[in-house]
Chains A and B, each alone.
Chain A
Amino acid sequence: AQSVTQLDSQVPVFEEAPVELRCNYSSSVSVYLFWYVQYPNQGLQLLLKYLSGSTLVKGINGFEAEFNKSQTSFHLRKPSVHISDTAEYFCAANTGNQFYFGTGTSLTVIP
């Protein structure tokens, strides 16, 4: 079975500081990887995705992630966070048609 692990359930960070949200996946087959952001009482908004090609993926709002096959990781990074980045972030893997979601990381940006 596939699984996605987000080790950090909560990440507080000061405004304008860098942040990394960790994600590891387990898959014995080719996998597509995603990061979604969810604001309170809203659906999921795609931040970025890795399907193939370059392992460094740039997304919206200044976020980027790097696919590391040897470490089975897809960590999300942003060099300088804003208050508006406070939200829930989900890592997800897709092996063709089904999504497997991590349990989410709550990012809180402190003024």
Chain B
Amino acid sequence: GAVVSQHPSRVICKSGTSVKIECRSLDFQATTMFWYRQFPKKSLMLMATSNEGSKATYEQGVEKDKFLINHASLTLSTLTVTSAHPEDSSFYICSAERTGTGTFNEQFFGPGTRLTVL
């Protein structure tokens, strides 16, 4: 099956610093990757769609200057939380879309990254 990894799995940082989270598709190429944030109430919220070689598309209400997304290759997308604050503490999950033969391209999810901002 398709495997998606995230690094780091956990990160603790001080308020005001920046944190970079990597999302990699290990055994397939992903033109499109997605970044989600999971809130304490457990629901997943789509933050942005990352397309290789172009700018990410952000969902309404997501600050693109705060959550920088770079999709420089077909197997790697990064999310950088700039000037992190305690309210940015959350569980961040990425997914990578694998091109299928039919009308649906399946997404595979990474294991998530727990960010804690002190």
Contact A43/B109 with A51-B104, A97-B97 known, Cβ cut-off 8 Å: yes
10 cross-chain pairs, A with B, having the tightest CB-CB distances, nearest first: A43-B111, A44-B109, A104-B42, A101-B44, A43-B112, A103-B43, A43-B109, A43-B110, A51-B104, A32-B104
Chain A residues lying within 8 Å of B83, measured Cβ to Cβ, are none
A90 to B109, CA, bound (A): 13
Cβ–Cβ contact B105 & A97, under 8 A:
yes
Chain B residues with CB under 8 A of A43: 6, 93, 109-112
* A interface size (C-beta, 8 A): 22
* Beyond known contacts A44-B93, A102-B43: 19 more, CB 8 A cutoff: A41-B112, A42-B112, A43-B6, A43-B93, A43-B110, A44-B109, A45-B109, A49-B106, A51-B104, A88-B42, A96-B103, A96-B104, A97-B32, A97-B49, A97-B105, A99-B34, A99-B46, A104-B43, A106-B42
- B85, CB-defined interface residue at 8 Å: no
Which residues of A are in contact with B by a Cβ distance under 8 Å?
A: 32, 36, 41-46, 49, 51, 88, 90, 94, 96-99, 101-104, 106
Hey, which chain B residues are within 8 Å of A88, CB to CB?
42
Interface-central residue, B32, B42, B112, by most chain A CB under 10 Å: B42
Closest to B100 in A: A51
- In the complex, which residue of chain A has the Cβ closest to the Cβ of B105? A97
Q: List, in ascending order, chain A residues with CB within 8 A of B102's CB.
A: 51
Bound: A94/B34 CA distance, A: 13
Contact A103 B104 (CB under 8 A): no
29 inter-chain pairs at a CB distance below 8 angstroms, sorted by A residue, are A36-B109, A41-B91, A41-B112, A43-B6, A43-B110, A43-B111, A43-B112, A44-B93, A44-B109, A45-B109, A46-B109, A51-B102, A51-B104, A88-B42, A90-B44, A94-B104, A94-B107, A96-B103, A96-B104, A97-B97, A97-B105, A98-B46, A99-B34, A99-B44, A99-B46, A101-B44, A102-B43, A103-B41, A106-B42
